[in-house]
Amino acid sequence: MTELAVLSPETFIDEGVLQTATASLSRVLAELGKVVLGQETLCREVVIGLLGGGNVLLEGQPGLGKTLLVRTLADAVEITSSRIQFTPDLMPADITGTQVLMRDDSGRSSLEFRRGPIFANLVLADEINRATPKTQSALLEAMQEHAVTVAGARHILAEPFCVIATQNPIETEGTYPLPEAQLDRFLLKAVVGFPTLEVLRSIGVSTTGISTASAERVMTREELLAMQRLVRQIVVAPHVADVAAHITMATHPEHNMSPARVKKFVRFGASPRAMQALLLAGRANALLAGRAHVGVEDLVAIATPVLRHRMILGFDATLDGVTADSLVADVLATVQ
Amino acid sequence: MTVTLSLARWARRSNRRRAVEAVARALPWIAAGAALVVLALQRDHLIGAVCVGAGASAAICALVARRLRRVWHRPPSMARDLDGRHRTADLLRTAVSIEARPEASGPSDVEQVVVARARELVPKIAEGAVAPLRLRTSPLGVAALAVTALMWFTGANQGLAARPSDALTEKARAKAEEIEKAVDALASDKSMSADVKEQLAKAKDALKRAASAKTGTEALAALSEASRLLDEAAPHIAASKPEELEKLSEQQLADQLASAAKAGDATRVQQLSRELMKRASAAQDGGAALGEMVKNAAAKAGDPWGNGSGDGSPQSQRLAQLSNAGDAMKNGDLDSARSALSGLSKGAKPGAMDPRAAQLAAARRSLSDLRSATRSAMNSGMSPSPSSGAGTPQESRDAMAQAMRDAAMGKMPGSGGTPKPGSGAGKMAGMGKMPGSGMGKMPGSGMGQMPGMGQMPGAGQMPGTGPQADGGNHLSVLQNGTSDQHGSSGTSGMKGNSPSGATAPETVMAEEVKTDPPPPTTPDGIIRAIREHSAGDHTPTAFQALRDRYAAVAEATMHRDEIPLTRRDFIQRYFEALRNQEAQ
């Protein structure tokens, strides 16, 4: 057990603790990189989401290793994981759990809550947009409050809790796009890119043999919780907070500091939750980089995954092929 | 030592260096602005200099402030600069913000780590924390300075020359000193009367003042005074008036006679001979002493060194003839003496002047040129060129006026050898009060029948036949008479009425006639007269009378010193131009 395992809120954080945390996170990233080839950025963003205690939405074509990433992360960090395949007939109870009639040895019957797959530290909501909105909304409480309410009983989810949802951007038939309110609850939206030719070759070779690469457990659940507490202690200077606020405001078309393209193509800008996400992800990014403070460059680094799903684009953007990423780049250009 | 203190120290050092750089960059602008201010001051544009100075100062201050604002550092901005340069991801800036917080909220554990890391970083980056001093000048400023320098070297001298209040240029000053020497030489002549010597001394002083004047106006005033004094002295030196001749001592009379004979000045010889014979006739010794003096004076003039040399030249012959006249007087033979003197007058070259008069005339001419040049420079901003010819219209007018004055003194061009009586006589309306230029019918060659041409003084129509012109409605008509110093000068209408108070030369005589009709007095009449004249109506009587009256009014105003000195000649030239136009 490392030093971080005993890191309590009262523990004095010094240079050594920070270095240990950074080294530990680097090992996690290294383990992920061993299995998920060619997706360093994706792995980093998922770890940031995990460190920030948030949820991550992965968008990419099938077969790019989204499920593998979640499973590998659960292997590298000593946390429980579950996988929910979202389908149109998936019911909320299938996620949260339900009360079943149980008969004890004396023959008496009682309703007993049987936990659903949501009761895990790391939940993979595969193809989340295939479920009906009713089912999707079953995740809302869990994602935001880390708790579910079933039959009037509130059940607290175990910490750490992280939902990693995936969705397929190319199949739109029979899908239910996530509502903006639910999208806003994802700390990050990571785009799973297609690997390069070399990476693709490596994937093919390494995954079709007898022995496949697997991740070693390099972090305990307690260490992860300590990391999550440490992330929230990373220093944010006033000028960095100013930049975060400015970035958030600049996504609003009605704001006078927003770029011209934002004014033209964006219908609604990012919410205050976006700024919270920006700073939280920035803290995690700084810790990953071994810093005890957040720099503007941390905000810039994670602004795109934080903001891309929080900006609601207008019809003109669809017609002109304008993506949210390009608009975020415009916003970032105003602060650099 | 905290991070903030280190950053503050670096910020101060950086600010000092950047300030020096900004000032160095602005130096060409400062120099250009200063040069412009000096240029404006040299042109006596005080308000312009103040405006340029204020504007340049404001602009330079704004530029320097703008530049300094971009590079001026305080600890946070210094931290930002260093973070950017060393890619420390806002470490220093965060540390400064932590240290800037109030003591009550002490730093957390992680914040202490941040500050510790920043402190650890500070010594590592101390060496290059402050950018070195780089003194560069603004290319635009250098260009502005070059343009200003170009303006300075090409325009400043002209500007200096154009300054109305500037003193004479070196060339003009040298000319004034030259005239002063000539006047001094004249004043050293023992034959001069005390009054004339005093006037010449005053003129010399005035010329000295002109040469050392601090301003152009002062110089011009001194030159004008010198000119007036020389004008007043001129007739006394020529001694053309009987009363002046009477004032001469016998020795002075003999000396001047010898001098005139030597110079071949027939007119002068005639005047002096007449005075000599008058005194000889009245003398108790029958003019013996006077004859001795004449003889000695002739001998002295012909042989100043007493070596007895005689070259047989006409000059020696004239002096010998004078010596004979002296002998005759000494022997009591006044008739022979008169005959000899008469022969001397006949044999003398007509029109030649007394050397002193010629010297004075030359000095007056030079002084007039100098005044014109100085005045032109003051009025038009051109460099005065006292020795240059009449290049500008103004100078042409000055030269014409001087020529007219010379003509009035019997020096009209072409009058030397072949006089042509009455030829080229124009019709100049008499101004009555203009110096030397107020004439009736101006003779084209300056004379009718000159002395020595067979008509002796008193022959023909004698002077004094007309009343003095008073600037009123009179027209002067040149008499076809002979100049005679015994006559009244009056008819030229110039006697004693020049602006400088000098008496006009008396070699031109005219009679005065009343203009008919008199000048219009009603506004309608005045306008009609001017309109008719402007329309080319060559019946200028009404206009001439009107012009004469206006000229008289202007002269009277100038005499009352109501017109600035620098504008008087301008007004005089205006009326001269009117007259010249009509003469053409």
Nearest chain B alpha carbon to A289? B89
Q: Would residue A216 be called left, alpha or beta, if left means φ above 0 and alpha means ψ between -120 and 50 degrees?
A: beta
Q: Are B230 and B238 in contact (CB under 8 A)?
A: no
On the question of pLDDT at A278 being above 90, the answer is yes
**pLDDT (0 to 100) of residue A286:** 93
Best residue in A3, A12, A235 for a mutation probing chain B (most B CBs within 10 Å) = A235
**pLDDT (0 to 100) of residue B197:** 81
The mean pLDDT of B495-512, rounded to a whole number, is 38
Q: Which residues of B66-87 are buried (b: 16+ CB within 10 A; e: fewer)?
A: ebeeebebebbbbbbbbbeeee
Best residue in B74, B113, B119, B121 for a mutation probing chain A (most A CBs within 10 Å) = B113
Q: Could you tell me the pTM of the whole model?
A: 0.54
User: How far A298 CA sits from the closest chain B CA (Å)?
Assistant: 8
Q: Do B93 and A292 touch (CB under 8 A)?
A: no
Q: Do A293 and B116 touch (CB under 8 A)?
A: no
> CA-CA distance, B244 to A157, in Å (whole number)?
141
**pLDDT (0 to 100) of residue B239:** 53
Q: What is the phi/psi pair of residue A235, to 5°?
A: -75, 130
Which chain B residues have a beta carbon less than 8 Å from that of A13?
109-110, 113
On the question of pLDDT at A161 being above 60, the answer is yes
**pLDDT (0 to 100) of residue A188:** 92
The answer to whether the peptide bond before residue A160 is cis (omega within 30 degrees of 0) is: yes
Which region among A55-59, B15-19, B311-315 has the lowest average model confidence (pLDDT)? B311-315
> Considering just the CA atoms, what is the radius of gyration of chain B in Å?
41
> CA-CA distance, B2 to A254, in Å (whole number)?
43
User: How far A192 CA sits from the closest chain B CA (Å)?
Assistant: 28
Q: Are B29 and B144 in contact (CB under 8 A)?
A: yes
Give kind and range of the element (H or E) at residue B92. Answer: helix B91-99
DSSP B491: G
Between B327 and B170, the more confident residue is B327
pLDDT tens track for B440-476: 343 433 333 333 333 334 333 434 333 443 433 333 3
For B111, residues 6+ apart whose C-beta sits below 8 A from its C-beta are: A235, A292, B98
Q: Is A295 on the interface with B (CB under 8 A)?
A: yes
On the question of pLDDT at B317 being above 60, the answer is yes
| Burial of B522: CB neighbours in 10 Å, binned 0-12, 13-18, 19+ | exposed
CA-CA-CA-CA torsion for B310, B314, B320, B321, nearest 10 degrees? 170
Q: Is A239 on the interface with B (CB under 8 A)?
A: yes
On the question of pLDDT at B578 being above 80, the answer is no
pLDDT band at B489 (very low <50, low <70, confident <90, very high): very low
Q: Do A239 and B90 touch (CB under 8 A)?
A: yes
pLDDT band at B306 (very low <50, low <70, confident <90, very high): low
On the question of pLDDT at B392 being above 50, the answer is no
Q: Do A235 and B93 touch (CB under 8 A)?
A: no
Q: Do A18 and B94 touch (CB under 8 A)?
A: no
> CA-CA distance, B299 to B1, in Å (whole number)?
112
Between A291 and B496, the more confident residue is A291
Residues 365-404 of chain B whose Cβ lies under 8 A from any Cβ of chain A: none
Q: Is A335 on the interface with B (CB under 8 A)?
A: no
User: How far A232 CA sits from the closest chain B CA (Å)?
Assistant: 10
Between B477 and B259, the more confident residue is B259
Beta bridge partners of A165: A57, A125
| DSSP assignment string, B210-237 | HHT-SSHHHHHHHHHHHHHHHHHHHHHH
Reference A258, options A148, A318, A332; nearest CA is: A332
Q: Do B110 and A13 touch (CB under 8 A)?
A: yes
**pLDDT (0 to 100) of residue B476:** 36
On the question of pLDDT at A261 being above 80, the answer is yes
Q: Do A235 and B110 touch (CB under 8 A)?
A: yes
Q: Looking at the partner chain, which of A12, A18, A237 has a beta carbon nearest the beta carbon of B94?
A: A237
Q: Do A14 and B113 touch (CB under 8 A)?
A: yes
> CA-CA distance, B462 to B457, in Å (whole number)?
8
Tokens of A36: 């998920």
**pLDDT (0 to 100) of residue A305:** 93
Q: What percent of chain B has pLDDT over 70?
A: 65
> CA-CA distance, B246 to B259, in Å (whole number)?
18
> CA-CA distance, B70 to B67, in Å (whole number)?
5
Mean pLDDT of chain B: 69
**pLDDT (0 to 100) of residue B583:** 64
Q: Do A14 and B114 touch (CB under 8 A)?
A: no
pLDDT band at A244 (very low <50, low <70, confident <90, very high): very high
Q: Looking at the partner chain, which of A15, A235, A291 has a beta carbon nearest the beta carbon of B111?
A: A235
**pLDDT (0 to 100) of residue B291:** 86
Q: What percent of chain A has pLDDT over 90?
A: 23
User: How far B76 CA sits from the closest chain A CA (Å)?
Assistant: 10
Which region among A207-221, B98-112, B210-224, B422-436 has the lowest average model confidence (pLDDT)? B422-436
Which chain A residues have a beta carbon less than 8 Å from that of B110?
13, 18, 230, 233-235, 292-293
Residues 75-94 of chain B whose Cβ lies under 8 A from any Cβ of chain A: 76, 83, 89-91, 93-94
Q: Do B91 and A291 touch (CB under 8 A)?
A: yes
Q: Is A15 on the interface with B (CB under 8 A)?
A: yes
HSE-CB at B485 with a 13 A cutoff on CA atoms is 23
**pLDDT (0 to 100) of residue B2:** 81
Q: Do B98 and A235 touch (CB under 8 A)?
A: yes
Q: In one letter, which amino acid is B134?
A: R
Beta bridge partners of B512: B476
pLDDT band at B493 (very low <50, low <70, confident <90, very high): very low
Q: What percent of chain A has pLDDT over 70?
A: 96
Which chain B residues have a beta carbon less than 8 Å from that of A230?
110
pLDDT tens track for A13-34: 788 888 888 998 999 999 988 8
Nearest chain A alpha carbon to B97? A237
**Distance, CA of A178 to chain centre:** 15
**pLDDT (0 to 100) of residue A280:** 93
| Burial of B228: CB neighbours in 10 Å, binned 0-12, 13-18, 19+ | buried
The mean pLDDT of A287-310, rounded to a whole number, is 91
H-type helices in chain A, by residue range? 15-35, 40-51, 66-76, 92-96, 133-145, 180-183, 197-207, 221-231, 238-250, 260-265, 272-288, 296-307, 315-320, 324-333
**ipTM score here?**
0.83
On the question of pLDDT at A208 being above 70, the answer is yes
**pLDDT (0 to 100) of residue A245:** 93
Q: Are B410 and B446 in contact (CB under 8 A)?
A: yes
Which region among A21-35, A104-118, A153-167, B257-271 has the lowest average model confidence (pLDDT)? B257-271
Between B502 and B96, the more confident residue is B96
pLDDT band at A300 (very low <50, low <70, confident <90, very high): very high
Q: Do A13 and B113 touch (CB under 8 A)?
A: yes
Q: Looking at the partner chain, which of A240, A292, A295 has a beta carbon nearest the beta carbon of B113?
A: A292
Q: Strand ranges (DSSP E) for A86-174?
A: 97-103, 109-115, 122-126, 147-150, 153-156, 162-167
On the question of pLDDT at B555 being above 70, the answer is yes
Which chain A residues have a beta carbon less than 8 Å from that of B111?
235, 292
The mean pLDDT of A243-270, rounded to a whole number, is 90
Q: Is B100 on the interface with A (CB under 8 A)?
A: no
Which chain A residues have a beta carbon less than 8 Å from that of B113?
13-15, 18, 292
Q: Are B559 and B499 in contact (CB under 8 A)?
A: yes
Which chain A residues have a beta carbon less than 8 Å from that of B109?
12-14, 233
**pLDDT (0 to 100) of residue B256:** 81
Residues 108-127 of chain B whose Cβ lies under 8 A from any Cβ of chain A: 108-114, 116-117
